[in-house]
Amino acid sequence: MEDLASDTEVDFSIRDLANGKKLFGVAQCYKCHRIQGQGGIAGPDLTPAGYRFSTHDLLETIIDPNKSISDQYQATIFQMEDGRTITGRVVNLNGDQYWVQPDMIKPNELVRLKVQEIEDMKPATVSVMPVGLLDNLTSEEILDLLAYLKSTAPKPADELGE
């Protein structure tokens, strides 16, 4: 973060966007995020993210997802009577049972919890977005990824000439 944030005045117009797009897949972003109409729905659509966030904030949300957690995507921590603790997003409440998705990267693996066996439930304070997703990328690759994120956002007219 420090290395790159000091460098936020980077010239993104010279970055490799095709490589950034490829890295979006390599770093698993597609599993949870849509961009330009493609990808998963566990997290917000990132097409406009490059416009909504400054470069610094964009990088920060990726490196430290726990800094801002959206209630819309927040997980719940279930404390079960048998001692199990299950954290996941509730995808369905059906009569006396919750269907919970413990791992957003495997959206089809659901766990069924019976309401009468739940001792306690509270909102999770950590994001379902994993930390460390960029750990295996070089800083050059991270810049390409950021450039790609910035490129999909609609630009206001006065910035188009830059």
32 binds ligand HEC (CB under 6 A): yes
Pick the binder of ligand HEC from 29, 100, 143, 147 (CB under 6 A). 29
Instruction: Measure the N-to-C terminal CA separation of the chain; round to a whole number of Å.
Output: 26
For the beta sheet containing 85-94, the strands, ordered from the edge strand earlier in sequence to the opposite edge, are 111-114, 97-101, 85-94, 76-80, 118-123
Pick the binder of ligand HEC from 93, 105, 115, 131 (CB under 6 A). 105
Dihedral sign computed on CA atoms, order 16, 19, 25, 27: negative
104 binds ligand HEC (CB under 6 A): yes
* Rounded least distance, CB 126 to ligand HEC, Å: 8
**Segment near ligand HEC (CB under 6 A); pick from 10-18, 63-71, 93-101, 117-125:** 63-71
Smaller CB distance to ligand HEC: residue 74 or 97?
74
Q: From CA 151, how far away is CA 67, in angstroms rounded?
A: 24
